[in-house]
Amino acid sequence: MSVSRRDLIRWQFDLTWALFEYHLDRLRPDDFLWEPVPHCWTVHRAADGTWVPDWAETEPDPVPVPTIAWVSWHIGWWWSVATDHLAGREPRDRTDITWPGDGTATIAWLRDLRTDWLAALDRLDDSELDAMAPFPWPDDPQYTVAHMIGWVNAELMKNAAEIGQLRLLRAQWTGSGG
Protein backbone atom coordinates (compact mmCIF):
# COMPACT_ATOMS: atom_id res chain seq x y z
CA MET A 1 0.00 0.00 0.00
CA SER A 2 1.37 3.38 -1.01
CA VAL A 3 0.75 6.43 1.17
CA SER A 4 1.15 9.93 -0.24
CA ARG A 5 3.42 12.37 1.56
CA ARG A 6 0.44 14.63 2.31
CA ASP A 7 -1.48 11.71 3.80
CA LEU A 8 1.52 10.76 5.95
CA ILE A 9 1.96 14.26 7.40
CA ARG A 10 -1.80 14.51 7.84
CA TRP A 11 -1.70 11.22 9.80
CA GLN A 12 1.14 12.60 11.93
CA PHE A 13 -0.87 15.75 12.61
CA ASP A 14 -3.99 13.76 13.53
CA LEU A 15 -1.96 11.66 15.98
CA THR A 16 -0.48 14.78 17.57
CA TRP A 17 -3.89 16.42 17.81
CA ALA A 18 -5.41 13.32 19.45
CA LEU A 19 -2.72 13.50 22.14
CA PHE A 20 -3.43 17.22 22.62
CA GLU A 21 -7.19 16.61 22.93
CA TYR A 22 -6.50 14.45 25.99
CA HIS A 23 -5.27 17.56 27.81
CA LEU A 24 -7.72 20.03 26.24
CA ASP A 25 -10.61 17.92 27.52
CA ARG A 26 -9.21 18.03 31.07
CA LEU A 27 -8.17 21.68 31.38
CA ARG A 28 -9.98 23.71 34.02
CA PRO A 29 -10.49 27.49 33.86
CA ASP A 30 -8.03 28.13 36.70
CA ASP A 31 -5.29 26.14 34.96
CA PHE A 32 -4.61 28.77 32.32
CA LEU A 33 -3.15 31.58 34.43
CA TRP A 34 -1.55 29.40 37.11
CA GLU A 35 2.07 30.39 37.61
CA PRO A 36 4.13 27.39 38.76
CA VAL A 37 7.23 29.47 39.63
CA PRO A 38 7.98 33.16 40.23
CA HIS A 39 9.79 33.61 36.87
CA CYS A 40 6.92 33.09 34.37
CA TRP A 41 5.70 34.34 31.07
CA THR A 42 1.95 34.75 30.98
CA VAL A 43 -0.70 37.03 29.46
CA HIS A 44 -1.96 40.30 30.96
CA ARG A 45 -5.17 42.21 30.39
CA ALA A 46 -4.47 45.51 28.62
CA ALA A 47 -6.44 48.72 29.15
CA ASP A 48 -8.57 47.95 26.07
CA GLY A 49 -9.55 44.53 27.51
CA THR A 50 -7.36 42.42 25.21
CA TRP A 51 -4.85 39.96 26.60
CA VAL A 52 -1.20 40.73 25.83
CA PRO A 53 1.52 38.08 26.17
CA ASP A 54 4.86 38.64 27.83
CA TRP A 55 7.47 38.87 25.07
CA ALA A 56 11.11 39.63 24.42
CA GLU A 57 12.72 39.93 21.00
CA THR A 58 15.76 38.09 22.35
CA GLU A 59 15.01 35.06 24.49
CA PRO A 60 15.95 35.82 28.09
CA ASP A 61 18.38 33.75 30.12
CA PRO A 62 17.05 31.99 32.07
CA VAL A 63 14.04 31.29 29.89
CA PRO A 64 10.83 32.01 31.82
CA VAL A 65 8.45 29.15 32.52
CA PRO A 66 5.31 29.82 30.47
CA THR A 67 1.78 29.51 31.79
CA ILE A 68 -0.82 27.48 29.91
CA ALA A 69 -2.34 30.79 28.82
CA TRP A 70 0.97 31.90 27.33
CA VAL A 71 1.60 28.56 25.59
CA SER A 72 -1.93 28.54 24.16
CA TRP A 73 -1.44 32.12 22.89
CA HIS A 74 1.90 31.01 21.39
CA ILE A 75 0.18 28.14 19.57
CA GLY A 76 -2.43 30.57 18.28
CA TRP A 77 0.24 32.96 17.03
CA TRP A 78 2.49 30.58 15.11
CA TRP A 79 -0.37 28.44 13.86
CA SER A 80 -2.37 31.43 12.60
CA VAL A 81 0.67 32.67 10.69
CA ALA A 82 1.49 29.22 9.29
CA THR A 83 -2.13 28.80 8.17
CA ASP A 84 -2.10 32.25 6.56
CA HIS A 85 0.95 31.22 4.56
CA LEU A 86 -0.44 27.81 3.61
CA ALA A 87 -3.75 29.35 2.54
CA GLY A 88 -2.04 32.11 0.52
CA ARG A 89 -3.25 34.93 2.79
CA GLU A 90 -1.25 37.89 4.05
CA PRO A 91 0.25 36.66 7.34
CA ARG A 92 -0.72 38.45 10.51
CA ASP A 93 1.82 40.07 12.79
CA ARG A 94 2.52 38.55 16.21
CA THR A 95 0.89 41.56 17.89
CA ASP A 96 -2.33 40.99 15.94
CA ILE A 97 -2.85 37.61 17.63
CA THR A 98 -4.47 37.96 21.04
CA TRP A 99 -5.34 35.36 23.64
CA PRO A 100 -9.13 34.83 23.85
CA GLY A 101 -9.22 35.44 27.61
CA ASP A 102 -10.58 32.34 29.25
CA GLY A 103 -10.31 28.60 29.10
CA THR A 104 -13.49 27.80 27.21
CA ALA A 105 -12.83 30.45 24.56
CA THR A 106 -9.20 29.39 24.25
CA ILE A 107 -10.04 25.72 23.70
CA ALA A 108 -12.65 26.71 21.08
CA TRP A 109 -10.05 28.97 19.41
CA LEU A 110 -7.48 26.16 19.26
CA ARG A 111 -10.04 23.77 17.80
CA ASP A 112 -11.01 26.41 15.21
CA LEU A 113 -7.33 26.80 14.30
CA ARG A 114 -7.20 23.05 13.76
CA THR A 115 -10.22 23.25 11.42
CA ASP A 116 -8.64 26.11 9.43
CA TRP A 117 -5.31 24.27 9.20
CA LEU A 118 -6.92 21.06 7.98
CA ALA A 119 -8.94 22.95 5.35
CA ALA A 120 -5.73 24.52 4.01
CA LEU A 121 -3.83 21.23 4.24
CA ASP A 122 -6.55 19.22 2.52
CA ARG A 123 -6.44 21.56 -0.50
CA LEU A 124 -2.81 20.63 -1.18
CA ASP A 125 -1.58 17.89 -3.43
CA ASP A 126 1.81 16.21 -3.20
CA SER A 127 3.32 18.44 -5.91
CA GLU A 128 2.61 21.58 -3.85
CA LEU A 129 4.59 20.16 -0.94
CA ASP A 130 7.80 20.81 -2.87
CA ALA A 131 7.27 24.59 -3.16
CA MET A 132 9.56 26.84 -1.14
CA ALA A 133 8.30 27.30 2.43
CA PRO A 134 7.22 30.86 3.14
CA PHE A 135 7.35 30.30 6.91
CA PRO A 136 9.13 29.97 9.30
CA TRP A 137 12.20 30.10 7.00
CA PRO A 138 11.44 32.81 4.44
CA ASP A 139 13.56 32.91 1.31
CA ASP A 140 15.50 29.73 2.10
CA PRO A 141 15.03 27.34 -0.84
CA GLN A 142 16.16 24.27 1.10
CA TYR A 143 12.90 24.31 3.10
CA THR A 144 9.67 23.29 1.42
CA VAL A 145 5.99 23.47 2.31
CA ALA A 146 6.38 19.84 3.45
CA HIS A 147 9.05 21.03 5.91
CA MET A 148 6.70 23.76 7.17
CA ILE A 149 3.92 21.23 7.75
CA GLY A 150 6.35 18.91 9.53
CA TRP A 151 7.45 21.87 11.67
CA VAL A 152 3.80 22.60 12.57
CA ASN A 153 3.38 18.98 13.65
CA ALA A 154 6.55 19.12 15.78
CA GLU A 155 5.74 22.53 17.29
CA LEU A 156 2.21 21.42 18.14
CA MET A 157 3.49 18.23 19.77
CA LYS A 158 6.02 20.22 21.83
CA ASN A 159 3.43 22.79 22.92
CA ALA A 160 0.83 20.11 23.68
CA ALA A 161 3.39 18.36 25.90
CA GLU A 162 4.15 21.65 27.68
CA ILE A 163 0.46 22.29 28.33
CA GLY A 164 -0.02 18.69 29.46
CA GLN A 165 2.92 18.86 31.85
CA LEU A 166 1.73 22.18 33.32
CA ARG A 167 -1.79 20.77 33.72
CA LEU A 168 -0.48 17.67 35.50
CA LEU A 169 1.79 19.70 37.78
CA ARG A 170 -1.05 22.04 38.73
CA ALA A 171 -3.37 19.10 39.42
CA GLN A 172 -0.79 17.61 41.78
CA TRP A 173 0.04 20.98 43.34
CA THR A 174 -3.62 21.76 44.09
CA GLY A 175 -4.63 18.18 44.86
CA SER A 176 -7.30 18.21 42.16
CA GLY A 177 -6.16 15.02 40.44
CA GLY A 178 -5.03 14.69 36.85
**In this structure, what CATH number is given to the domain that contains residue 83?**
1.20.120.450
- Taking the C-alpha atoms of residue 100 and residue 63, their distance in angstroms, rounded to an integer, is 24
Query: pLDDT averaged over consecutive 10-residue blocks of the chain (178 residues)?
Result: 85 96 96 96 96 95 97 97 91 95 95 96 88 81 91 97 97 75
Q: What are the distances in angstroms from CA 117 to CA 29, 65, 70, 86, 155?
A: 25, 28, 21, 8, 14
pTM for the full model? 0.93
pLDDT for position 5:
86
What is the pLDDT at residue 176?
Answer: 66
Name the residue range of residue 99's domain.
Answer: 5-49+63-174
Domain-located, residue 58: no
Residue 161: phi, psi to the nearest 5? -65, -40
In-domain check, residue 37:
yes
Distance of CA 65 to the CA centre of its chain: 16
- Distance, in Å, from the CA atom of 83 to the CA atom of 80, rounded to the nearest integer, reads 5
Domain-located, residue 54: no
Distance between the two ends of the chain, CA-based, in angstroms?
40
CB 164 within 8 Å of CB 23: yes
Q: What is the pLDDT of residue 119?
A: 93
Rounded distance between C-alpha atoms, residue 145 and residue 31, angstroms: 35
Give pLDDT, residue 173: 83
- The reported pLDDT for the residue numbered 178 is 60
| Residue 65 host element (H or E) | strand 65-66
Q: What is the pLDDT of residue 4?
A: 83
The number of domains in the chain is: 1
